[in-house]
């Protein structure tokens, strides 16, 4: 009974916090004078001293101060936080492609811990943890008393040891699962030639499938190698799968987008001031030689994934399919404090080429294809046909092969599915490959939506755009090296580049 009550509270707290959050957003920002700020800092010192002197047990001063700094940054947005020395060190492990834990990306959601996405081929993914799930308890301890960094620490541990999580999914039913910690090795890009599930053996229509699970330091290099290999295989088009990809390096997202583009803007980042705007443009050279591209997204696609989807969609280069993305449109950066610690803070918002901010909204797919289960109602070859009649004439030039032998009982009972069988059950993937094949046959490129709506144009404002152009003209352009498969283009490359240290907000465990 107590457990059910705690789970109910877990679901209620985010909703009540949401109402309070909306009320807070409606309140105007209060700016203090220097004297008022000094008075508040004196009050903070008085609170610290009173707590240290009067608390019933011996106080941990370092813990108190770190919690105060974390609370101060957490009041700004869910992605800003204080990083102690060990946390700052762990944060950089992602760039090396290997770390210990469960393989799960989480974020803070109004005091709760919410899953952005599991990482491919990890304990979390194999246990069935999904994007959008809430973690309410870690080893039977509720998470609402923990900061996000504390929750991360509790889930990390020596490889081979176990941790128990209580998960609440969309259906509201809690479940407890026990996971074994492992060394998480992230291979950012996987690729292969695929055929549709209903394709015949003699078809030569091969589709290049590229799965990007994370935008890391080596993603762009791995992608170029993947495209080069698939181009040699003479694929007819590409499916770029960024479902359940929680993001990563902004520069990696820019490089991935650039691989599919000949020209055009990729993304713009806009900071606190109207003139603090950086625009990034594609360099000449579409590595896929203009072949059809479909980008697959879902509600676990966040941050860098949304930059790629938005850039290819707005430049009319790819058709976006799947479901609405996560809606994380802000850029974070680590600011070292000189003693091994740092702050992780939101420094800008990013916008798609048409001027869309996807913060809290996400990328809307051109074709919505929800994750579904397909049930076959009709056999490929009916028992009733001309061929079923007695003494029917034979087709001398028939290319049909003998029917495959039926599976043995052992094969029928085998629990492991082959990669082809898994692909056949992936409804979104099959529809994406269908679209690539259709686009290839029609020799067409996708038609994106209108570049900027009237509301967006009004919101951006002519004054802001003018200021942005002046700011960009004042910056010295950096000449980037040409891509290996560059094509000629009349459009110049962009003037500015994104901040290289910017990263997605999610914590990895």
Rounded CA-CA distance 363/391 in Å is 59
User: Is 499 marked active-site?
Assistant: no
- Token pair for 298: 């879902």
Q: Which of 283, 291, 328, 507 is catalytic?
A: 328
- Cross-strand bridge partners of residue 208: 193, 238
Cβ atoms of 311 and 482 within 8 Å: the answer is no
Cβ atoms of 113 and 153 within 8 Å: the answer is no
User: Is 232 marked active-site?
Assistant: no
Give, in order, the Cα–Cα distances in Å from 132 to each of 114, 171, 325. Answer: 6, 11, 11
Rounded CA-CA distance 223/287 in Å is 10
What string of DSSP letters covers 135-187?
A: EEEETTEEGGGS-HHHHHHHH--STT-EEEEEEE-TT--EEEEEEE-EEEE--
Residue 165 three-state SS: strand
Helix pair angle (304-314, 250-260), 10° resolution: 30
Q: Which of 303, 323, 330, 357 is catalytic?
A: 303
User: Is 139 marked active-site?
Assistant: no
Q: ∠ CA(350), CA(353), CA(354), 5° rounding? A: 110
Backbone phi and psi for residue 29, each to the nearest 5 degrees, phi listed first: -75, 130
Cβ atoms of 339 and 450 within 8 Å: the answer is no
Backbone phi and psi for residue 133, each to the nearest 5 degrees, phi listed first: -65, 150
In the numeric block, the tokens 């003494």 are attached to 391
How would you label 208-219 residue by residue, b for 16+ Cβ within 10 Å and e otherwise? bbbbbbbbbebb
Q: ∠ CA(350), CA(352), CA(357), 5° rounding? A: 55
- Token pair for 235: 């694929």
Q: Which of 109, 263, 278, 314 is catalytic?
A: 314
- Cross-strand bridge partners of residue 109: 112
Task: Work out whether the CA dihedral 349, 353, 355, 359 comes out positive or negative.
Answer: negative
Task: State the catalytic residues.
Answer: 303, 314, 328
């Amino acid at each position: 009974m107590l457990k059910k009550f705690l789970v109910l509270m877990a679901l209620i707290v985010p909703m009540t916090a949401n109402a309070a959050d909306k009320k807070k957003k409606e309140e105007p920002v209060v700016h203090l004078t220097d004297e008022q700020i000094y008075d508040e800092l004196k009050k903070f010192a008085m609170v610290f001293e009173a707590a240290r002197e009067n608390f019933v047990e011996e106080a941990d001063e370092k813990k108190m101060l770190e919690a105060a700094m974390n609370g101060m940054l957490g009041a700004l947005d869910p992605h800003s936080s204080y990083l102690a020395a060990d946390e700052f060190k762990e944060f950089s492990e992602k760039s090396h492609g290997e770390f210990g834990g469960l393989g799960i990306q989480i974020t803070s959601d109004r005091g709760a811990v919410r899953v952005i996405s599991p990482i491919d081929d990890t304990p979390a993914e194999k246990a069935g943890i999904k994007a959008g799930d809430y973690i309410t308890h870690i080893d039977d301890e509720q998470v609402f008393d923990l900061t996000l960094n504390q929750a991360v620490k509790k889930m990390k541990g020596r490889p081979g040891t176990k941790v128990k999580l209580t998960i609440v999914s969309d259906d509201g039913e809690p479940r407890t699962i026990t996971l074994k910690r492992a060394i998480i090795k992230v291979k950012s890009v996987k690729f292969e030639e695929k055929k549709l599930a209903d394709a015949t053996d003699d078809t030569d229509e091969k589709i290049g499938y590229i799965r990007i699970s994370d935008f890391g330091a080596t993603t762009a290099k791995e992608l170029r190698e993947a495209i080069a290999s698939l181009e040699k295989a003479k694929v007819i088009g590409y499916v770029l799968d960024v479902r359940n990809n929680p993001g990563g390096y902004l520069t990696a997202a820019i490089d991935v987008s650039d691989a599919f583009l000949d020209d055009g803007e990729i993304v713009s980042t806009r900071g606190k001031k109207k003139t603090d705007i950086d625009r990034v443009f594609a360099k000449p050279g579409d590595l896929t030689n203009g072949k059809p591209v479909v980008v697959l997204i879902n509600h676990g696609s966040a941050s860098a994934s949304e930059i790629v989807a938005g850039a290819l969609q707005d430049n009319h280069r790819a058709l976006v399919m799947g479901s609405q993305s996560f809606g994380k449109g802000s850029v974070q950066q680590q600011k070292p404090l000189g003693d091994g610690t740092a702050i992780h803070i939101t420094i800008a918002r990013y916008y798609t080429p048409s001027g869309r901010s996807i913060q809290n909204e996400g990328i809307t797919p051109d074709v919505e294809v929800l994750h579904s289960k397909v049930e076959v109602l009709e056999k490929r070859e009916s028992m009733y046909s001309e061929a079923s009649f007695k003494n029917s004439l034979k087709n001398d030039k028939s290319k049909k092969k003998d029917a495959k032998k039926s599976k043995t009982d052992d094969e029928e009972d085998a629990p492991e599915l082959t990669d082809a069988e898994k692909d056949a059950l992936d409804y979104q993937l099959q529809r994406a490959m269908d679209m690539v094949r259709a686009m290839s046959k029609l020799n067409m490129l996708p038609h994106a939506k209108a570049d900027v709506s009237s509301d967006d144009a009004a919101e951006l404002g002519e004054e802001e755009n003018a200021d942005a152009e002046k700011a960009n003209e004042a910056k010295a352009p950096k000449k980037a090296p040409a891509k290996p498969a560059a094509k000629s283009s009349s459009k110049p490359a962009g003037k500015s580049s994104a901040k290289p240290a910017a990263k997605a907000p999610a914590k990895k465990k």
